[in-house]
Amino acid sequence: MTQTKELPKILLVDDIAFFRDVMQTYFQRTPAKVFTAGSGLEAFDLAIAEQPALIYLDAGMPQMSGLECCRRLKADARTAGIPVIIIFTPERDAGVDEVEASGCDGYLTKPFGREEFLNLGHRFLFHIERRERRVSCQMTIDFTIAGRDCRGRGHDISRHGLYVEYRDELPPDKQIDLSFMLPTVSTEQFTVQGRVTWLNQGFPRRNLKLPQGFGVEFLGVPEGLSQAVEAYLKQFQSEDVDA
């Protein structure tokens, strides 16, 4: 009889439901069981009961802070070996020294993006899938970066970002405002803020399979855009991009 391999478990902890939901969306392509907790006390009990392979733990929570929860997890033989990533806002929640003193295995400072979030988790749990399903998108992209208005061309798009074909050198600023249409699924002109996550320009380029350009992660995707992108991905599901 063939045994079914059990999926690894990931525990996401934040007292704000919105942030728990956002973190959960990052694991849509990861073969894992994802649990959530809304407090340090709940997280501690869940960690003992479920024995997750990885914990993302917000530092600034009422009742029991994430730092106190981490200290308890590391002091308990049942949970001491579970990797814990602390998420915190410097100065407001804690300082780096205090976070490191909690015994955590890694930390993320707010604000952070999907790529940073998953890359750090991948260090402790190889099952984490960092790539997103992307499909080709040939449309005009108007964008503003460092006060400069520019125009590029979309190459591929996913739920959380897109790759923009653009030959001119970009300013060093990572914040970017984008405007574009997905004409096959909507007549709306979408605008969204984003963050440049990587550059593929100059010589040697990081990825020669792609034209010169840059990758963007969407920040705070409006519901209308989210629905349109989802419809676009379904419409062109046979044209997945692997680059």
DSSP 8-state assignment for residue 239: G
| Dihedral class, residue 173 (left if φ above 0, else alpha if ψ from -120 to 50, else beta) | beta
- pLDDT tens digits along 9-45: 999 999 999 999 989 988 988 889 999 999 999 999 9
- pLDDT tens digits along 95-138: 899 999 999 999 999 888 888 898 889 888 877 766 667 889 98
Residue 114's pLDDT is 83
Residue 172's pLDDT is 75
CA Rg value for the chain: 20
DSSP 8-state assignment for residue 201: -
Query: Residue ranges of the domains in the chain?
Result: 9-124, 135-239
- Alpha-carbon separation of residue 204 from 86, 177, 199, 201, 212 (angstroms): 36, 27, 11, 8, 11
- Alpha-carbon separation of residue 74 from 59, 70, 99, 160 (angstroms): 15, 6, 13, 34
- pLDDT surpassing 50 at residue 2: no
Q: What is the mean pLDDT of the chain?
A: 88
- pLDDT surpassing 70 at residue 230: yes
Mean pLDDT of all residues in 236-241: 61
Specify the pTM.
Answer: 0.61
Residue pair 91/119 in contact (Cβ under 8 Å)? The answer is no
Taking the C-alpha atoms of residue 203 and residue 212, their distance in angstroms, rounded to an integer, is: 10
The answer to whether domain 135-239 has CATH 3.40.50.150 is: no
Q: Which residues contact 208 (CB under 8 A, 6 or more apart)?
A: none
Q: Element (H or E) spanning 44, and its range?
A: helix 40-50
Residue 239's pLDDT is 54
Residue pair 243/207 in contact (Cβ under 8 Å)? The answer is yes
- CATH number corresponding to 9-124: 3.40.50.2300
Number of Cα atoms under 13 Å in the Cβ half of residue 218: 21
% of the chain at pLDDT higher than 90:
54
